[in-house]
Amino acid sequence: MKKTVVMIFASAALMLAADQTFTGIVTDDMCGGSHKDMNMGPDEKCVIECVRGGAKYALWDGKQTYVLSDQKGAAKFPAKKVIVKGTLDAKAKIIQVSSIVAAK
């Protein structure tokens, strides 16, 4: 019986940790969805400069900004629409990324 209960909890934990799909724009956690206040020109330039200044790459889904755990992968897509697969830590607003690809 004890073994069965442990297996049920382990299975539930794995199901909750399954990758989700997120679509949005790669941005930085300082500017989020709007780069206009920075007056740096194109959004791509602003994202790159903000990250150089200490911000982190993030995903803007149109409502929320989520920091991306894969900073190197995100660096390939500044200000571009992407599809991210991973798990969301909603409390910390961080996506543990398993893949990032350009959206079509």
Please tell me the predicted confidence (pLDDT) of residue 32.
82
**Strand 94-102, strand 65-68: pairing:** parallel
Tell me the helix, strand and coil percentages in the chain, rounded to 5: 30, 35, 35
65-81 confidence digits (pLDDT tens): 999 999 999 999 999 99
Residue stretches of the chain with pLDDT short of 50: none
C-alpha dist (Å) from residue 12 to 7, 53, 67, 103:
9, 41, 26, 31
| pLDDT of 50 | 93
Beta bridge partners of 36: none
CA atoms within 13 A on the CB side of 14: 6
pTM across the whole model:
0.78
Residue ranges covered by each domain of the chain: 19-102
Q: Contact 84/21 with Cβ under 8 angstroms?
A: yes
Phi, psi at residue 13, to the nearest 5°? -65, -40
